[in-house]
Amino acid sequence: MQDNILRAHPHARLAVYALWTDKLFFDSRSEWDTDGLVDHRVVHLWDGKDIAGDWLVAHLPDYQGGEWDAYLLFGPKAIWTATPHPLLSSGSTVIGSSDQLQASILPLLTHNRPSAGGTS
């Protein structure tokens, strides 16, 4: 994510939300390692009880990720009402699904470039 998408597309208007949970032995809030996602467009959130992740798994029928180390991709026209939709792509692990994520997000990035004479 950091190298193949964020660094490769520094001007793309993206919002990345990294939800950190307590799933494994060293997953406490004091141990989380944000060094892999240092881009200014990434917002790191702590969800120790994985309330958001459990809700997304239970309420998004097209979700193809696991219970952790997963991604969900929503486009610029996504609506966040009772359930967020449309879900454009999802999968896990993030690194194992990086080709799928990149293929899904690339059309959004190519239509999201700043114009040659203006700003984004």
What residues have CB less than 8 Å from 60, skipping those under 6 apart? 72, 83, 84, 87, 90
Task: Over range 33-41, report the average pLDDT.
Answer: 83
Mean per-residue pLDDT of the chain: 84
Among the ranges given (9-18, 33-42, 109-118), the one the predictor scored with the smallest mean pLDDT = 109-118
Q: What is the Cα–Cα distance from 39 to 58, expressed in whole angstroms?
A: 30
Per-residue pLDDT band at 99 (split at 50, 70, 90) = very high
Task: Say yes or no to pLDDT of 113 above 80.
Answer: no
Q: What is the Cα–Cα distance from 55 to 25, expressed in whole angstroms?
A: 22
Q: What is the pLDDT of residues 49-61, one digit of tens each?
A: 889 988 998 999 8
CB atoms inside a 10 Å sphere around CB 57: 15
pTM for the model = 0.81
